[in-house]
Amino acid sequence: EIAICTDLENDVTDVTNVRGAYGVKAGTIGLTVAGDYNFDSENIVVGAEATGIEVAGIGLGAAVTYDVDAENIGFEGHTNIIGLTAYLNGDQDEVLQNIGTSYDYNLAGITLSGGLNYNFDAEEMTPTVGASFSF
């Protein structure tokens, strides 16, 4: 998968980012590597994700990213239990920045979602609610 990103409000010929990702499956485990290059800042961000790891009936996954300019490694771990997704994330400087949960429910082709995130820096809880559909 390759994406070319532009700012549609300005000039669509001004390409700002090129992103690419490649994924493979090894049994139930999915592995993805990705990269992003910003033409303006010349910054590169690379990442990798593993999903579908199952331990005692619980689905686990993890992602790690590296921002070349910031020289910063970020990470996220997530789990899925009976339709509920829980995650935590941080970076090399602050191991635990956010923790949260979300739930999706499909109602006649419409996905209803709700979630809650707690940011440890701001000491703030943020709820989310959404609905999406495809046609």
Residue 102, pLDDT above cutoff 90: yes
pTM of the complete model: 0.74
Residue 39, pLDDT above cutoff 60: yes
Residue 98, pLDDT above cutoff 90: yes
- Asked if residue 63 lies in contact with residue 34, where contact means CB atoms within 8 angstroms, the answer is no
The rounded Cα 17 to chain-centroid distance in angstroms is: 18
Which tokens is 103 given?
Answer: 């739930």
Which tokens is 57 given?
Answer: 């009936």
pLDDT in tens, 19-38: 999 999 998 899 999 999 99
pLDDT for residue 62: 96
